[in-house]
Every structure is written in C-alpha cells, then in structure tokens.
C-alpha cells in the first residue's frame, strides 16, 4: 500500500510500445483517488478501509481470491453497486477531483464516463449494429451517418469489424463467446468513456479469444484508463502496469470475513518483489 | 492389434435389466397415457362442434342478422353477435392490456419488494381467482345500474378478467429477462426508464404479446360477465359499443343451446364453431407475433 506517488517513474520504466506519448494529459494523472473506503452490503462489510490511486492511461489489475472484494471495489467506481439494495460506500472516492458519491452526482452521468465490461458477455438481444449504437443513441446521437461511423470505428477498435461487417443486422446473440465479449467492449467504447472497468472479461473465453482481448487492452490504454479484475495472474502480468492484491481478512472474534487491500504497486514489483508475505504466497504458491 | 482388444472383455455398455430400467418404462407409459387422456376430451369437443356447426357456416350466416328462434337453420345468421364479440373484446383489450403491462413493469422494475408492489401483486393474484360472474355483478352494480347496458360495460367486465392475467404473464416474462442485460445498459449510462423501454421490454415483448393474446382469447369466450352488462337479445347489429344493449357470441350460444327449436340449436353450434375459430386465429397471431419479436433473441 505504498508508492502511489511514483507515477512518472512508472511511465519511464515501461517500454515505449506499452505506453504511447500522452496527448491528453500529463502522464499518470490520478483518475481515481480512493481513501479509507469501506463498502457494505446491508450489514455485511464486504471491503474494509481501502486506499489507493488509479492512474490515467494505465491498466490496473485487481487480483486476489474470491470474496476479497475486487469486484465490489470495481463496481463502486461507476456506481453499479447503487443497483443493489442495501449497498453503501463509506470513505472518500474521488474521480478526477470530484467526490463520486457526492450528493449532486448522478450515477447516470458517472456511468456515461466510466464504462464497464462484465464477466459474462451480455450483448442485448438486438442487432450487432444496434448493440454498438445503443450508447451513442442514449446520448442523443440520431444522425445516421455519424452513427455508422461510430459503429464502424468502435468495432474496428474492438478488433471485431472484419468478422461482422457483412452481418451487422444479425442478432448480437448469434456471436461466439469471444466475439460477443468484443462486441460488449465495442459497445462500451462507442460512448468514448474516460475509464473502462473490466470484471474478469476473459474468464469465459478460450485462450485465443483471451489473447485477442488482452491485445485489445494494450491498444485501448493509450486512450482510456483501464481497470481489470482477473483471477488469472499471468493475465495480470501480461496486461497491467499496476496490480492491487486483495485478500480476505477473517475476524476470529465475530467470525466475519471482509476484503482488504494487502499490497498495491507496479506489476513487476508485486510479482517479482512482493513486500507482504500474503502477496508472496498468492503470487508464487498458487500460480497455474 | 484388433485381436488383442477383441479378446479382452470390454466395458459393459448394454443397460442391464434392472429396476431402474423398469421404472423408466413405467414413467414413459404413464406420460403417454396422460397425454392421450388430455387429448381425448379436447378432440371430442372439437370434433362435435365442427360436426354440428360446420353445416350452417357460410358468409351469409356470419353476417346476417339474428332471426327469431323458430326460424329454420338455413335462415338468418349470427352477424350482430360476431360484431359485438369483436367490438367488446377489442375495447376490453384496449382497456386492460396497456394497464396490465404498465402494472407489471411497475411490479418488476420499480416496485421491488416495497409494500405497494407486494399489495398490488397479491391483489392481482386474488383477482385471478375471482369467478367471472362476480366480475359481471361488480360492473353491473357499479356501472350498469347508473348508465344502463352497453358494450362498454361488457368491455369493463372482460377487462377486469383480463387484467390479472396480463399482469401475471407480463410479470413472469419480465422476470425472465436476465439482470445482466439491465446491468449492461445501466453501465452505458442509461436511465431506468430507458433500460426498461429499450432493453427489458424488447427482450420480453414476444412473451408479453402472446400472454396478452391468450388473455384476449380467454375473455372472448366469457359468458357470465356479459349477461349482466350487455344484456343480449338483439337481432340487429348495435355498432355503438358505448351505449345500448349489445350481443356477443357466448350469450347467443347460451340462449340458443337452451332453445327447444332445432334451427336455433343449429345456429348455436355454428356460433360455437365461430367462437373457437376466433380463439384459434388469436392463438396463431400470438405465435406469429412472438416469433417476429424474438427475431434477435437467438
């Protein structure tokens, strides 16, 4: 849980191919500033006292065992937890200097800037075209020409265009698992979000489709900030710049379990030189 | 190589004669038997209605006005009752289906587990069990006593019968829509109303439409609620569905079936066949529409 300040070092240390020059903002600007955040589902404290920063144009991976609160924290970033009755966020969670859970903040507006790709591909039962055009349309885009352009650009960026360009009018549900997940990514980036959250986006996919999605993340991070939850540690080392390791803390007195952030740092450091013994046990002991 | 494997006793792949196998046989036979038992009465109803009703059916039978009971079978027809049934059922559909769909959307998408939603859900279930004649009496005392008999009153009564069916079937269809679809739309910044209208409803529309049409078909065949609300007994078409007594196929069947005259009885069978045909057509339309709407759902 140290070193969130070393942002510039991170970018110098990465090979040039992995992080292109930033035209948008100074490298490594903080996108999410998380301070002492605890998340509750009614009386159950799912995550306890988490603090860390997420940096612009980086891929940040959340790893850790089931029940350690990775997905809960991820879903807090675009306020998807609001949809669960009884969910509550304590502490400070800032997005580009604004309190995400401020009184006048609309979750709708938040989600238009912070998109999400889910574990299971969830294309709408609409045509491929309408799936991708859904986001732009809810933002008020009606112009047919511009929509066509957005759909093509998004599908190209999601590396799906060549496979579907001749059947844009067929159902999104007719695609294979890997294609459907790329469609969901295309749908997410069609609204030009600032951040893309991914909740185990490749866990239901075969290695080839997984590789395609990982390549995509490398492509996309020049334009977006990506946060990914993954159970696959090789995947974390392949795609991420920083890694957060979450773990389950059991309180023997009350027999309650809660998720905590054990260690956060550059991915190389977490995997090669973990400071916390729990991190070491996780990244070495249970690989493969 | 082949010889070696041939000599070795292979795994036994044949199902041994066992109690498990016998149980399977018994269950299969029982299922076929119950299917046959179900199909027999259905078949008899259809065959007897077609046998007795088909002979009088003709275009003039379907459109002519209703003659006096003593008239022979080849005179007059059931036109006013066909028109009345179509008018009243259509009006009942216009009243009940939008209301029922909106109610189910409230129950599933907005209400959640709050008191109001639970109360509405419970009342809808209770309404499903209310006998149709009670619905007729209800509208009779509430509307007919003040404004007189009319097709509209009949539509109210049929609408009351359809409402809980539409609510229940729509609710079940909405519940089947995976929450992952809703989340996907929310994650793009859609409002709740938008998620409901552009993702949830289209995903469930096929089932909702066929559920609604089943309710329509059910209501079209109801007799009791109409006896108290549209009166019947007309011989000419009453185009004005909003005022004056009207006539519908079920009432005509009811009065003709209890008539001593063979001509009237024959017209009653013809009316019965017509009613079944209308219900049948509605079912087919329901199937076609749900196939049309589920174009993208596979």
Residue that has been written with the tokens 């885009």 in this structure = A141
* A241-256 pLDDT per residue, tens: 999 999 998 888 888 8
* Residues in a beta bridge with B43: none
How far apart, in whole angstroms, are the C-alpha atoms of residue A117 and residue A111?
12
Tokens of B98: 């939008």
Sheet architecture: strand order including A30-41: A98-99, A87-95, A30-41, A44-55, A256-266, A242-251, A59-64, A225-229, A195-199, A114-117
* H or E, element range at B289: helix B262-293
Dihedral sign computed on CA atoms, order A168, A172, A178, A183: positive
In chain B the domains, ranked by start, together with CATH numbers, are 80-293 (1.10.3720.10)
* pLDDT tens, position by position, A205-249: 888 888 888 988 888 888 899 999 998 888 999 999 999 999 998
Closest CA to B275 of B72, B120, B50: B50
The pair of three-digit structure tokens given for residue B281, joined into one six-digit string: 């057509």
Q: Which residue of A has its CA nearest to B197?
A: A138
Interface ipTM: 0.84
Question: Is the CB of B297 less than 8 angstroms away from the CB of A173?
Answer: yes
Within 13 Å of residue B250, how many CA atoms lie on the same side as its CB?
22
State the Rg of chain A over Cα: 19
- With beta carbons less than 8 A apart as the criterion, state whether A61 and A242 touch: yes
Q: How far is CA B61 from the centre of its chain?
A: 25
Residue B154 vs residues B107, B244, B247: alpha-carbon distances, Å: 27, 11, 10
Strands (E), A8-58: 30-41, 44-55
CA-angle at A111, arms to A58 and A49, nearest 5°:
65
Query: What topology does CATH give the domain A7-15+22-123+193-285?
Result: Rossmann fold (3.40.50)
At A25 the pLDDT is 41
B127 half-sphere exposure, CB direction, 13 A CA radius: 21
CA B184 to each of CA A121, A139, B174: distance values in angstroms, whole numbers, following the listed order: 9, 15, 16
3-class SS at A94? strand
All residues of chain A having their beta carbon less than 8 Å from the beta carbon of residue B298 are: 171, 173-174
Residues of B in contact with A126 (CB under 8 A): 202, 296
**Residue A122 and residue B183: Cβ atoms within 8 Å?**
yes
Minimum distance, in Å, between the CA of residue B189 and any CA atom of chain A: 4
Residues from chain B contacting residue A127 (CB–CB below 8 Å): 296
Measure the CA–CA gap between A189 and A195, rounded to whole angstroms: 9
Query: Across the interface, do A125 and B184 touch by the CB < 8 Å criterion?
Result: no
Give the residue from B112, B189, B192, B200 with the most A CB atoms within 10 Å of its CB, the best one to mutate. B189
Q: State the helix-helix crossing angle for B151-176 and B201-220, rounded to 10 degrees.
A: 140
Q: How far apart are the first and last CA of chain B?
A: 48
- Tokens linked to A193: 């979000």
Q: How far does B169 lie from chain A, in Å, by closest CA?
A: 20
Q: DSSP states of A253-277 as a string?
A: TTTEEEEEEEEEEEHHHHHHS-SSH
What are the structure tokens assigned to B276, written together? Answer: 């079944």
Interchain pair A115, B178: CB under 8 A: no
- Closest residue on chain A to B109 (Cα): A83
Interface residues of chain B, partner chain A, Cβ below 8 Å? 112, 178, 180-191, 194, 198-199, 202-203, 294-298
Tell me how far CA of residue A212 lies from CA of A71, A221, B133, in angstroms. Answer: 23, 14, 64
Test the A interface: residue of B178, B190, B296 with most A CBs within 10 Å: B296
Q: Kindly provide the b/e burial profile for residues A164-200, where b requires at least 16 CB atoms within 10 angstroms of the residue's own CB.
A: beeebeebbbebeebbbbbbbbbbbbbbbbbbbbbbb
Bridge partner residues of B103 (DSSP): none
A247 membership: H or E segment, kind and range = strand A242-251
Across-strand partners of A127? A171
Rg (C-alpha) for chain B, rounded Å, is 26
Q: Are A59 and A215 in contact (CB under 8 A)?
A: no
Chain A residues whose CB is inside 8 A of the B294 CB are 125
Q: Using CA coordinates, name the residue in chain B closest to A78.
A: B187
Q: CA A155 → CA A9, A132, A181, B100, B180, distances in Å?
A: 34, 8, 12, 40, 21
State both tokens at A14: 């990465």
Confidence (pLDDT) at A8: 40
Q: Which residues of A77-96 are buried (b: 16+ CB within 10 A; e: fewer)?
A: bbbbbbeeeebebebebbbe
The mean pLDDT value of chain A amounts to: 86
Residue A240 backbone phi and psi in degrees, to 5: -105, 155
Q: At which residue do the structure tokens 């008539």 appear?
A: B259
Distance between A106 CA and the closest CA of chain B, angstroms = 10
> Which of A124, A183, A188, A204 is the best residue to mutate to test the B interface, defined by the most B CB atoms within 10 Å of its own CB?
A124
| Helix-strand-coil split of chain A, %, nearest 5 | 35, 25, 35
CA A51 to chain centre: 17
Longest dimension (CA), chain B: 96
Spans in chain A with pLDDT lower than 70? 1-28, 285-288
Q: Give 10-residue mean pLDDT values along chain B (298 residues).
A: 60 78 92 95 93 91 88 87 94 96 93 87 90 93 93 95 94 93 94 93 89 90 91 86 90 91 92 94 86 66
Please check whether residue A183 is in contact with residue A121, taking contact to mean a CB–CB distance below 8 angstroms. yes
Give the closest residue to A183 by CA, choosing from A197, A168, A194, A193.
A168
A191 in reach of chain B (CB within 8 A): yes
**Cβ distance of B189 and A135 shorter than 8 Å:** yes
Return the biggest CA–CA distance within chain A.
63
pLDDT digits (tens, 9 = 90+) for A6-27: 434 333 334 444 444 434 444 5
Supply φ then ψ for residue A95, to 5 degrees. Answer: -115, 110
pTM surpassing 0.90? no
């Amino acid at each position: 849980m140290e070193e969130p300040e070393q942002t510039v070092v991170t970018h110098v240390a990465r090979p040039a191919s992995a992080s292109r020059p930033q035209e948008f903002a100074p490298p490594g600007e903080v996108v999410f500033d998380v301070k002492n955040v605890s998340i509750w589902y009614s009386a159950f404290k799912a995550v306890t006292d988490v603090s860390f920063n997420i940096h612009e144009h980086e891929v940040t991976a959340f790893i850790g065992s089931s029940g350690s609160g990775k997905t809960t924290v991820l879903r807090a970033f675009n306020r998807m937890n609001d949809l669960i009755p009884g969910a509550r966020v304590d502490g400070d969670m800032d997005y580009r200097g604004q309190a995400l859970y401020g009184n006048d903040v609309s979750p709708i507006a938040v989600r238009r800037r912070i998109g999400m790709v889910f574990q299971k591909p969830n294309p709408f039962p609409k045509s491929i075209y309408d799936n991708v055009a859904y986001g732009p349309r809810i933002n008020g885009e009606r112009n047919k020409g511009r929509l066509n352009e957005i759909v093509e650009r998004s599908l190209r960026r999601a590396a799906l265009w060549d496979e579907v360009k001749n059947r844009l009018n067929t159902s999104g549900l007719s695609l294979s698992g890997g294609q459907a997940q790329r469609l969901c990514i295309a749908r997410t980036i069609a609204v030009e979000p600032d951040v893309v959250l991914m909740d185990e986006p490749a866990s239901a996919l075969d290695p080839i489709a997984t590789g395609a999605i990982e390549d995509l993340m490398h492509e996309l991070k020049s334009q977006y900030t990506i946060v990914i939850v993954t159970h696959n540690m090789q995947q974390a080392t392949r795609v991420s710049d920083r890694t957060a390791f979450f773990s389950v803390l059991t309180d023997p007195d009350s027999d309650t379990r809660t998720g905590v952030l054990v260690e956060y740092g550059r991915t190389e450091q977490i995997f090669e030189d973990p400071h916390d013994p729990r991190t070491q046990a996780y990244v070495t002991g249970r690989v493969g | 190589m082949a010889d070696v494997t041939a000599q070795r006793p292979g795994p036994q792949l044949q199902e041994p004669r066992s109690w498990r196998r016998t149980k399977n046989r018994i269950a299969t036979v029982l299922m076929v038997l119950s299917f046959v038992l179900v199909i027999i009465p259905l078949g008899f109803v259809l065959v007897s209605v077609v046998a007795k009703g088909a002979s009088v059916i003709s275009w003039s039978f379907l459109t002519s006005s209703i003659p006096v009971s003593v008239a022979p079978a080849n005179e007059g027809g059931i036109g006013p009752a066909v028109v009345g049934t179509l008018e009243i059922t259509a009006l009942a559909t216009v009243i009940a289906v939008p209301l029922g769909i909106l109610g189910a959307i409230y129950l599933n998408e907005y209400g959640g587990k709050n008191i109001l939603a639970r109360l509405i859900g419970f009342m809808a279930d209770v309404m499903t069990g209310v006998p149709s004649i009670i619905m007729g009496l209800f509208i009779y005392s509430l509307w007919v006593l003040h404004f007189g008999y009319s097709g509209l009153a009949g539509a109210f009564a049929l609408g009351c019968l359809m409402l809980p069916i539409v609510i229940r079937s729509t609710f079940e269809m909405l519940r089947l829509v995976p929450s992952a679809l809703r989340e996907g739309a929310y994650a793009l910044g859609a409002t709740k109303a938008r998620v409901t209208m552009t993702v949830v409803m289209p995903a469930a529309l096929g089932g909702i439409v066929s559920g609604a049409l089943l309710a329509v078909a059910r209501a079209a065949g109801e007799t009791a609620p109409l006896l108290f609300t549209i009166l019947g007994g007309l011989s000419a078409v009453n185009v004005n569905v909003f005022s004056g007594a009207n006539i519908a196929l079920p009432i005509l069947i009811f009065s003709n079936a209890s008539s001593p005259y063979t001509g009237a009885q024959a017209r009653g069978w013809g009316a019965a066949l017509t009613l079944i045909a209308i219900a049948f057509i509605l079912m087919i339309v329901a199937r076609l529409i749900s196939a049309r709407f589920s174009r993208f759902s596979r």
